[in-house]
Structure 1
């Protein structure tokens, strides 16, 4: 078996253990579960993961949808993202990770770095109060909107065309540190895909190499951080399992049926929504602080 196959096998064994852990937690707290607005959450997960597979990203879309529909408590949003989207991201990685050949050492080390970062980030975020979480989510959405606009306009690192399939020496160290930081940021709602692609391009690697690195990173780090959020109970228990199922369906529809859409205008619209939603988080945080 090659490295890509080994990574996928280990990923799904890990995902199975994670899902059992999640299921046990949901069952153990079934009397506390609130299923209010469950249809909203099912649709949000399906749509967010559908567009994640097509390259827009799921975290910002889901965060904005939850804020506007009030179908998830603000303090549970970071945990809900990492807990409920972990399995759909594994499905996504399965579809795409074997399509691109990347240097094995670079791939494994950058994935491992993101996982360590996510575990540390989840421990920190699960202890934040709602005012701090609202502020962090607002900042996260602004940053994601800026990065997304740079990406669709090929601005900055996104305009660089590299050819390398992997990294060595100082560049490898930079890549590992960068993905470690991105793993931390993933737990507060800043999706890893676009920033990871920027790092890959800045370090001189080919654009397509970003896909196995960023998808592999997310497929491993989401369950890793998800364990921490599940243990602390900082996620939407009532909608978690349904969102896992609908999110996986969204990925399959996008990855195996639709494959591509004219997304430029929609991406601009999503950026506008992200900024508006960020302002709402800032307003609520300031109001709560008073």
Structure 2
């Protein structure tokens, strides 16, 4: 079952890679003339996707960086954010699913739940108020981080070491991750939410990584090919992230693999707090702009 998942990842992302290479060849005279210093893009790509591998949003970091450096217009920013992460996320998924032990049924159910949520979710989430959802989620993430830290200081029982779920817990995980997939459509990332859910259900914290990356690597390439079709993305940035972003990913995957559960709990707590504070600050910024 895991081999089938890995094969499908290669197939879906391989189709994207072919489309991207064809587009690069068709515009080979324009690519390197696009904005962005080569050395800067090499270093920034590696750093962005090193952090992304730990669950820190590459969308958020890239948006700030590219706007500040004026590397891409606002019109092409959404396409660039999507296309640049396809190859690095595919490598994340392949690496994590290969090196982190997770029961196949749990992995496949969770991946399918998020992909289905991302596909049918828009018809429901468009009726929701994003700022209200962000407020509740930011508080929830802080609470989840506090529980992890309380466990670290032996104030409450700490998370588990299970490699899979069954019965009611698997159903809860599937429903939760389905919802997270839908929330992606209104700009609420699923990484930190998946981390908190996996931890709360007693799984090894590392299992959050193959689930998160596995779901994203199916959902992102399909939409990204539309941006390539209409040329609404930065070819240069996407090229550099496909090369140097992968290098950052591989460094981070090695670290996650070598970290023990105790260290991963600290990492996850830090990501949850970061995600929560980011949402709170974003909400305040939106209110100020309004």
Normalised by the length of structure 2, the TM-score is 0.70
Aligned to 2:176: 178
Deviations 1:207-265 (A, max 9, x none): 2332321222223222233234434544333422222212112112333479779979x
Q: Could you tell me which of 195, 198, 201 is aligned with 1:197?
A: 195
Aligned to 2:36: 37
Q: Is the 8 A contact 2:169 2:201 kept in 1?
A: yes
Distance 1:269 1:117 in 2: 25
Shift of the 172–255 alpha-carbon distance from structure 1 to 2, 3 Å rule, reads closer
Q: Aligned-pair distance for 1:20? A: 0.8
Distance 2:58 2:108 in 1: 24
Deviations 1:9-68 (A, max 9, x none): 331232211111222344446677671135455443221101223454433322332343
Deviations 1:108-141 (A, max 9, x none): 122123223445579999xx9xxxxxx97x9999
Aligned to 1:65: 65
Q: Is the 8 A contact 2:141 2:196 kept in 1?
A: no
Q: Give 1:1-290 correspondences, 5 Å limit.
A: 3-28=1-26, 35-37=34-36, 39=38, 40-119=40-119, 153-154=146-147, 161-186=159-184, 189-231=187-229, 233-256=231-254, 286=290
Q: Is the 8 A contact 2:180 2:193 kept in 1?
A: yes
Aligned to 1:131: none
Query: Root-mean-square deviation (CA), in Å?
Result: 4.4
Q: Aligned-pair distance for 1:182? A: 2.4
Aligned to 1:132: none
Q: Aligned-pair distance for 1:271? A: 7.5
Instruction: Out of 44-53 and 21-30, give the one that drifted further.
Output: 21-30
Instruction: Give the SS at the match of 1:73.
Output: coil
Normalised by the length of structure 1, the TM-score is 0.70
Distance 1:29 1:123 in 2: 36
Distance 1:82 1:123 in 2: 21
Q: Is the 8 A contact 1:91 1:251 kept in 2?
A: yes
Q: Which structure 2 segments of 5+ residues have no match?
A: none
Q: Which has the larger radius of gyration?
A: 2
Q: Is the 8 A contact 2:159 2:200 kept in 1?
A: no
Q: Is the 8 A contact 1:41 1:71 kept in 2?
A: no
Question: How many pairs align?
Answer: 274
Instruction: Give the SS at the match of 2:175.
Output: helix
Q: Is the 8 A contact 1:5 1:98 kept in 2?
A: no
